[in-house]
Structure 1
Amino acid sequence: MSLDVKNAIQSGKTVLGIELGSTRIKAVLIGEDNVSIASGSHDWENSHVDKIWTYSEEEIWKGLQDSYQKMANDVKQQYGVTLQTVGAIGFSGMMHGYMAFNKEEKLLVPFRTWRNNITEQASKELTGLFNYQIPQRWSIAHLYQAILNGEEHIGDIDFQTTLAGYVHWKLTGQKVLGVGEASGVFPIDLNTKKFNKTMIGQFNELIESKNLPWKLEDILPNVLVAGDNAGVLTDEGVKLLDVSGELKVGIPLCPPEGDAGTGMVATNSVAKRTGNVSAGTSAFAMVVLEKDLTKVHPELDLVTTPSGNLVAMAHSNNCTSDLNAWVGLFEEFSKTMGIKVDTDKLYENLFKQALEGDPDGGGLLSYGYLSGEHMTHFEEGRPLFVRSSESNFNLANFMRVHLFTAFGAMKIGMDILINEEKVKLDEILGHGGIFKTEGVAQGFLAAALNTPVSVMETAGEGGAWGIALLGSYLINKKENETLEDYLNENVFVNQEVKTMSPDPKDVEGFEQFMKRYTNGLAIERAAVDNLK
């Protein structure tokens, strides 16, 4: 046990980051060297209630408290001390979605997550109004759709925010968002790093006839950039986070961020000409742009880094959920055969098997659409596996195709960025559990994008570590030190990076698979329309 780490914990020189992801809430405590020294996590799943993907408020707080307590117990077990204070705290969560509250701070309708493809009319109308891509999952699309639907709660809205913004607000009393998270709520003015005032005016004019008792600027959070102080932990906040009551009040918090922003930070891809792919329940590629895109593309969203630099995002709602379900089936089969298998080993072996497959996956086809997929215009999902009688159906091709399809919808957006917009990329950094098995998903992603893909040794750390780094930046940055410089000089200076260049055979194979993927979308449409 390091005495330095113990002293850092006792003297509050650590930083806590907590991210509320789609399937897991993770708490990570980092030391003075920005390396993780303790962690705790809580597994959870969204519910599909009245055709809405949601998590209840009770689940949010239960999961947050559980992940914090497990992290604090990890500290006690490893270092023999009780965690009572930290230097800073940061919260991150799934971006977008809809959480609307009245004056009494009561949630007006159940939390509508990013996963809901229920705002098509609003998305189209707002994109046309602003001449700026407004995806279905953005918070403003959810708000406007609720207005179009004539939902009763609209007149009672006093505050609208995201999941991370909600948690931060309850713990600090501050109604704020980090600019990266805010950029998925409403378009950002890149000069002011605030919500775009011109577009706010256009929106207010659009809804004027509804005679609502609020203007848009009245109900949105304040926007902050990385390094800004976003309030401190209150008495009420301590009670909500630490049920043991050991944690002290007054700890500073960094601006709450979205999982896209923390993914950029965790992979050191916040500088121009860098990009990262976060692959989990959803898959999204983030590319920091040197200049604006030439036109609006429905497949590409424009968001920002936590510092407010322009980013193009190719986002697909589905990535690993169906793949995980198939691995679960293999695990179940092993148990029925009386074979006890380690889950991590099972993933590793199955992933490595994919390397033995035909370059194009042997003519097999899969869509892992557990939920709707906006990239290919599906309002609902139907996971499908399809093959012809001539296809080469074996385990290697089966696994290969499920790994290919995890990146399939996202590739459609990235092809527009690289081929049409001629965006230059030096490299892409991959992070998420899918990259855990060395050289498999990383190589397939390099083939999909025809670009070198790097994975860092911290690739599995994810967004909780990313938001902890933003907390570290808040309290440790030098005067006028940019986030890019802070990360380069204090976090990633000795980071081990493994890079894979695209294999021409795999590039060609992936392109063949994508032709099949595009042609087969009619099958997915038939399943959505006819399989209820």
Structure 2
Amino acid sequence: MSHDVINEIQNGRTTLGIEFGSTRIKAVLIGNNHIPLASGSHDWKNSYSNQIWTYTLEDIWKGLQDSYRKMASDVKQQYGITLRTVGAIGFSGMMHGYMVFDEAGELLTPFRTWRNNITEQASKVLSGLFHFHIPQRWSIAHLYQSILNEEKHVADIRFLTTLAGYIHWKLSGQKVIGVGEASGVFPIHTHTKDYHSAMAEQFNKLIASYKLPWKLEDILPSVLVAGEIAGSLTEEGAKLLDVTGELQAGIPLCPPEGDAGTGMVSTNSVARRTGNVSAGTSVFAMVVLEKELSKAYEEIDLVTTPSGNLVAMAHSNNCTSDLNEWVGLFGQFAKVMGMEVDANKLFGTLYNLALQGDPDCGGLLAYGYLSGEHMTHFEEGRPLFVRSSESHFNLPNFMRVHLFTALGALKTGMDILLKQEAVKLDEILGHGGFFKTVGVGQKIMAAALDVPVSVMETAGEGGAWGIALLASFMLNRTDNETLEEYLNNKVFSGKAGVTIQPEPKDVQGFETFMQRYTRGLAIERAAVEYLN
């Protein structure tokens, strides 16, 4: 065991990142060399209550404390010491959504997550007003929809924030968020790296007739960029995070960020002409732009890197959930037949079979819409598998079509960027569960986007590692050092990765599949209308 590592931990030369994903909360402690030293995770899931996708405050705190406890226990088990301090901490979470609080700091309405497609009217009005696409997931869309719905809580709002912003506020007392996270709350002006003041004024005029006791700027958290100090852990915050009372207060905190920003950091794709794609429960691709797009697109969100550079984001609500359930069904079959199959072997075997299928999936069609899909304009979803009597119905094609369709909505958006806007993209870096089976997800993604797809050795570390890196950047950066320089020179230098080039026959196969996918949306629409 290295005494250097023990000294690093004891002397607080570490940083801690905790990210709230949609199915898992993960805590990662990293050392001076940015390699994880210990980790802990807590599984959780959203609930659908009163037509709202939500997580309770109890679930949030229970999950935070459990993931921290498991990480601290990992430190104790590996190194024989009790964790009492770290150099810096960062919190990250699912972007967007709606958490609003009154004067006393009480939550006014259950947390509305990114997954809710209930703000269509607000989204349309605001997008038209700003000439800037405001997706239904964004916090400002939720706020304006609540105003349009004349919900009673609106007049009592004194603070609106995101999940990461909420955690940070409760642990530090600071009402702040990172610029990447803020860009999913309200549009950011890329020159000022703050909320777009002209649009904020337009919004205030829009709602003036409601005579609310606040203006937008009164209730939004302040915006910080990567590298800035965002307060420190209070005595109360330390006890909230570590229920054993061992963790000391006073630890500096970096700006809380969204999962999109931490995905960019953990894949080293914060520089222009780079991009990353995070594929799991949902899937989104981020492309750092060299210049602004020619116009606003309903399918494309404009957000920023944690440093405030402009990013085009194509986001799909659905990716692997339905695919995972089909794999689970095959697992049940194996069990009934008396075979105990390890989950990794089950996924690996079925995923690799997909590579043996016909390039266009043999005429099969599927939609994995467990929830609504804004990219193709569905407020609700119905998972479907459809085939004609002439299609090549076999297991390789069946697996291939479910892998293809997991990226169908994403490709709709990416085609706008890469084909219509001619955005230049040298490569895209993949991370998330879709890429866990070596080579398969990469090959399918390369076919979908017709761009080289790389997966780094570190890709499995995910967003918790990404926010730990942002905490490390804040703590260890030199004067005028940019985030891009820090990541290139100090974190990813010498790190290996595997790149897969798109194969022409697969690219053409995906294009053929997409023609079928687009035509078949009428079947999905009928299923939504008739299957309740």
Same fold (TM over 0.5): yes
Amino acid at match of 2:507: V
Residue 414 of structure 1 is matched in structure 2 by 414
Unmatched runs of 5 consecutive residues or more in structure 1: none
Distance in 1 separating the partners of 2:177 and 2:187: 13
Residue 504 of structure 2 is matched in structure 1 by 504
Give matches, 1:28-107, under 5 Å: 28-107=28-107
Cα shift at 1:205: 0.2
- Is residue 518 of structure 1 aligned with residue 518 of structure 2? yes
Residue 373 of structure 1 is matched in structure 2 by 373
RMSD of aligned residue pairs (Cα, Å):
0.7
Cα shift at 1:25: 0.4
Residue 228 of structure 1 is matched in structure 2 by 228
Residue 466 of structure 2 is matched in structure 1 by 466
Amino acid at match of 2:268: N
Residue 204 of structure 1 is matched in structure 2 by 204
Cα shift at 1:377: 0.1
Q: Secondary structure at the match of 1:362?
A: helix
Cα shift at 1:398: 1.0
Amino acid at match of 1:460: G
Give matches, 1:166-245, under 5 Å: 166-245=166-245
Deviation track 1:105-148 (CA, whole Å, cap 9, x = no partner) reads 11101000000000000000000000001000000000000000
Distance in 2 separating the partners of 1:456 and 1:218: 42
Residue 271 of structure 1 is matched in structure 2 by 271
Amino acid at match of 2:517: Y
Q: Secondary structure at the match of 1:458?
A: helix
Residue 256 of structure 2 is matched in structure 1 by 256
Distance in 1 separating the partners of 2:390 and 2:60: 48
Q: Secondary structure at the match of 2:362?
A: coil
Amino acid at match of 2:409: A
Distance in 1 separating the partners of 2:508 and 2:253: 48
Distance in 1 separating the partners of 2:3 and 2:79: 9
Deviation track 1:327-373 (CA, whole Å, cap 9, x = no partner) reads 11122222222211111121111111111111111111111111100
Deviation track 1:144-180 (CA, whole Å, cap 9, x = no partner) reads 0000001010000000000000000000000000000
Distance in 1 separating the partners of 2:166 and 2:464: 17
Cα shift at 1:14: 0.9
Per mean C-alpha deviation after superposition, the further-off stretch among 321-330 and 25-34 is: 321-330
Amino acid at match of 1:31: G
Residue 452 of structure 1 is matched in structure 2 by 452
Amino acid at match of 1:136: Q
Runs of 4+, deviation exceeding 3 Å:
none
Residue 309 of structure 1 is matched in structure 2 by 309
Residue 353 of structure 2 is matched in structure 1 by 353
Q: Secondary structure at the match of 1:243?
A: coil
Residue 327 of structure 2 is matched in structure 1 by 327
Amino acid at match of 2:399: M
Amino acid at match of 1:200: A
Amino acid at match of 2:145: Q
Q: Secondary structure at the match of 1:12?
A: coil
Give matches, 1:131-170, under 5 Å: 131-170=131-170
Amino acid at match of 1:37: L
Cα shift at 1:2: 2.0
Distance in 2 separating the partners of 1:461 and 1:351: 22
Deviation track 1:278-322 (CA, whole Å, cap 9, x = no partner) reads 111110000000000000110100000000000000001111111
Using the size of structure 1 for normalisation, the TM-score is 0.99
Deviation track 1:381-405 (CA, whole Å, cap 9, x = no partner) reads 1111111111111111111111111
Per mean C-alpha deviation after superposition, the further-off stretch among 367-376 and 319-328 is: 319-328
Amino acid at match of 1:464: A
- Is residue 344 of structure 1 aligned with residue 344 of structure 2? yes
Distance in 1 separating the partners of 2:250 and 2:114: 32
Amino acid at match of 1:40: G
Q: Secondary structure at the match of 2:460?
A: coil
Distance in 2 separating the partners of 1:128 and 1:270: 30
Amino acid at match of 1:334: A
Amino acid at match of 2:238: V
Distance in 1 separating the partners of 2:412 and 2:2: 48
Deviation track 1:33-58 (CA, whole Å, cap 9, x = no partner) reads 00111111111111011111000000
Distance in 2 separating the partners of 1:362 and 1:330: 21
Amino acid at match of 1:375: M
Per mean C-alpha deviation after superposition, the further-off stretch among 488-497 and 381-390 is: 381-390
Cα shift at 1:430: 0.5
Distance in 1 separating the partners of 2:143 and 2:80: 48
Amino acid at match of 2:470: L
Distance in 1 separating the partners of 2:396 and 2:359: 11
Deviation track 1:260-283 (CA, whole Å, cap 9, x = no partner) reads 000000000000000000111110
Q: Secondary structure at the match of 2:458?
A: coil
Residue 7 of structure 1 is matched in structure 2 by 7
Using the size of structure 2 for normalisation, the TM-score is 0.99
Amino acid at match of 2:484: E
Amino acid at match of 1:89: I
**Alignment coverage as a number of residue pairs:** 532
- Is residue 364 of structure 1 aligned with residue 357 of structure 2? no
Amino acid at match of 2:156: D
Residue 399 of structure 1 is matched in structure 2 by 399
Q: Secondary structure at the match of 1:72?
A: helix
Indicate the percent of aligned positions where both proteins have the same amino acid: 74
Give matches, 1:8-27, under 5 Å: 8-27=8-27
Per mean C-alpha deviation after superposition, the further-off stretch among 304-313 and 241-250 is: 241-250
Distance in 2 separating the partners of 1:63 and 1:331: 29
Distance in 2 separating the partners of 1:336 and 1:242: 44
Q: Secondary structure at the match of 1:393?
A: coil
Give matches, 1:486-497, under 5 Å: 486-497=486-497
Deviation track 1:495-525 (CA, whole Å, cap 9, x = no partner) reads 1011111001100110111111101101111
Distance in 2 separating the partners of 1:217 and 1:37: 40
- Is residue 287 of structure 1 aligned with residue 295 of structure 2? no
Amino acid at match of 1:514: M
Amino acid at match of 1:191: H
Distance in 2 separating the partners of 1:353 and 1:3: 47
Q: Secondary structure at the match of 1:460?
A: helix
Amino acid at match of 1:269: S
Per mean C-alpha deviation after superposition, the further-off stretch among 317-326 and 472-481 is: 317-326
Distance in 2 separating the partners of 1:194 and 1:408: 34
Cα shift at 1:240: 1.2
Unmatched runs of 5 consecutive residues or more in structure 2: none
